[in-house]
Structure 1
Amino acid sequence: MEIVAEGLAFPEGPVVLADGSVIVVELAAGRVTRCWNGRTEAISDIGGGPNGAAIGPDGALYVCNNGGLDLVKFQNARGPGHEGRIERVDLSSGKVDRLYDRCDGIALEAPNDIVFDADGRMWFTDLGKTHDGIRTASGLFSALPDGSAVTAINRHAVSYNGVGLSPDGVHLYIADTHQARLWRYERKAEEQRPTWVATAPGPVGFDSLAVTAAGNICVATLYDGGITTITPGGQARKLDIPGERYVTNIAFGGADMRDAYITLSTTGRLVKLRWDEPGLELCYNG
């Protein structure tokens, strides 16, 4: 593995840009950071607990913000200023605009990961919050990037985390952290129930994911750290990354889309390795 950046404060949500740089969010620092050639540069002090991120159709960065985490107790921060929300970051100025913090009058809990489809619509997960022995509901949502409309697809999930589109754009794949399950949805902005795809064996959890050009789903795997690759038919294999419990994200880039950028969050590193198949190009990362 090649170390792209280190000393990061629980990095998540890598976004690979056409110029070869990679944007990550630093969850523990409330910051959006650009990484390249061993260097880092702060883009925005966004605050809260930024998690997943994606480039939207207007070229801005859209961020799922869980509101903040107490990384000592590993539970969610509560109270004013710690609301879960979806935010837009202007990459040239660092300006942050809040787009959504509720849906149908119900507050978002802890938005976690996000992807844009070819129509410019965003799809994002809400992991739910854990605090003082209480676990709140998780879910999947869809929204327009101008802040005008958000729809609940499922409000009754356990712990939805990673989200990605199939190569034909027909389906969404969702990783459930605590159940270590992969689910499939229709790409329809309406209430629906998912189809089960696979469950990982062993004492692991699922985090974020990325899809390959062939349609395989690569899921960052927690506790016994690594990347679990699952076929659309449910067959799974795992690449172990020894010594790292929180392998949290994977994103593809490079000229042939075979550079896999992986966040190793507990050790504060963004690393790169060569993957055995090309990743799927995202709609707006050009």
Structure 2
Amino acid sequence: MDFEIVAEGLAFPEGPIAMADGSVVLVEIRRQTLSRVKPDGTIEVIAELGGGPNGAAVGPDGAVYVCNNGGFEWIEAEGMITPHGTAADYVSGSIQRVDLRTGAATTLYDACDGRPLRGPNDIVFDSAGGFWFSDLGKSDGDRMHMGHLLYARPDGSMIRRVREGMVTPNGVGLSPDQKTVWVAETHTSRVWGFPIVRPGEIDQPANLWTPGAVLGPLPGYQLLDSLALEASGKVCCATLVNGGITAFDPAGGVEHTAFPDPLITNICFGGPDMQTAWITASATGKLLKCRWPRPGLKLAFNA
């Protein structure tokens, strides 16, 4: 697929948001910032967030809400950077709110029911104004936390674990009718689809062996990262190792589009027809742009 490089020199970009003015707001995990990439490639820092800012989404109040994983250590090799393990100064993960006008950042949540958030990763708002997010967990090289799917309100009034015991849950997205929440697991290379019964609640089947729809796994050694939905309902997952975007069709079928970076971490859609895609090529620090073959799904909120 043909693409252009919008920006280079980003410090492990993730969480892109296509903004109404044509810019892309994203996080730079290694730089610990929320940043804006203008159409001409100029990069400006909106907020210094600390830790490891990861997924990001615009909320109903026009602020950006950030999943902060608490931070990584980093490996540099062959002109690429890779996150590794847990930062030496790690305390916990959190959900942060950033005012785009002032850059002021506040911590909204750092725990749920007295249990700390370990490594919040990806986030999506529903039309009711609440948000779903994943907590991938952290690893110290010997132990790895189980992950969770959570739901919260942006006013700080409610947070709950909706689905526990997941294996490295990463990308999160909603189906066009908002009746299914899709969650990609990095290390299983599967995408789970959980039926939503009301905002923040999923159907909990009596049979634990059939907990939801499953897309994948992908063959060989491929890992899944963040995701976005197409207007048709296809689930577009950023794919690690076999760098690219893998589009899963819930009705059956998989399509992989390769990009030249082993750590393609996210995709977002925008433009007048929602067929412009921005893709984070994180190991090489680039933001890519291309024409996607099908329209992406418009998110609930933008700014």
Band the TM-score falls in, shorter-chain normalisation: over 0.9
The 8 Å contact of residues 233 and 250 in structure 2, kept in 1 or not, is answered as yes
Moved more, 178-187 or 272-281: 178-187
Q: In the alignment, what sits opposite 2:17?
A: 15
CA distance in 2, matches of 1:131, 1:138: 15
1:265 paired residue number: 282
Please state if 1:227 is matched with 2:245: yes
C-alpha distance in structure 1 between counterparts of 2:252 and 2:147, whole Å: 23
Which residue, out of 2, 5, 12, partners 2:4? 2
Q: Which letter does structure 2 place at the counterpart of 1:132? A: G
**In the alignment, which of 177, 185, 210 is matched to residue 228 of structure 2?**
210
Alignment of 1:266-285 (within 5 A): 266-285=283-302
- Between the aligned residues of both structures, percent identity stands at 48
Alpha-carbon distance in 2 for matches of 1:259, 1:190 = 32
Superimposed CA distance per residue, residues 191-233 of structure 1 (whole angstroms, 9 cap, x where no aligned partner): 6443323211221000001101111111100001011001112
Match among 114, 138, 142 for residue 129 of structure 1: 138
Matches within 5 A, 1:100-115: 100-115=109-124
Q: Which letter does structure 1 place at the counterpart of 2:213?
A: T
Question: Following the alignment from structure 2 to structure 1, what is the Cα–Cα distance between the partners of residues 251 and 223?
Answer: 20
- What is the CA–CA distance in structure 2 between the aligned matches of 1:241 and 1:10, rounded to whole Å? 16
Contact persistence 2:130–2:153 (CA under 8 A):
yes
Question: Which runs of no fewer than 5 residues in structure 2 stay unpaired?
Answer: 76-82, 205-210
Could you tell me whether the CA contact under 8 Å between 1:260 and 1:273 is conserved in 2?
A: yes
SS for the counterpart of 1:199 is coil
**Letter of the aligned partner of 2:43 in structure 1?**
T
Letter in structure 1 aligned against 2:227 = L
Normalized against structure 1, the TM-score is what? Answer: 0.96
Match of 1:82 among 85, 91, 95: 91
Partner of 2:154: 145
CA distance in 2, matches of 1:224, 1:197: 17
Q: CA distance change for structure 1 residues 100 and 194 in 2, over 3 Å: closer, same or farther?
A: farther
**Offset of 1:129 from its aligned partner?**
0.3
Aligned length: 284
Letter in 2 for 1:101: D
Tell me, in whole angstroms, the C-alpha distance in 2 between the residues paired with 1:122 and 1:21.
23
Shift of 1:236: 0.7
CA offsets 1:85-140 (integer angstroms, 9 cap, x no match) = 00100001111111111111111100000000000010000011011321111110
1:25 aligns with 2:42: no
Amino acid at match of 2:216: A
Distance in 1 between residues matched to 2:290 and 2:141, nearest whole Å: 39
Contact between 1:163 and 1:174, CA under 8 Å: does it hold in 2?
Answer: yes
Residue of structure 2 equivalent to 1:66: 69
> What's the secondary structure of 2:10's corresponding residue?
coil
Secondary structure class of the residue paired with 2:61: coil
- Tell me, which stretches of 5 or more residues in structure 1 are unaligned? none
- Report if aligned partners of 2:73, 2:88 keep a CA contact under 8 Å in 1: no
Which residue is equivalent to 1:196?
214
* Residue in structure 2 matching 1:52, options 41, 48, 55: 55
| Aligned residue number for residue 239 of structure 1 | 257
> Which letter maps to 1:38?
G
| Residue 78 of structure 1, CA deviation | 5.1
Aligned-partner Cα distance in 2 for 1:125–1:178: 14
Report the AA paired with residue 13 of structure 2. Answer: P
Relative to the length of structure 2, the TM-score reads 0.91
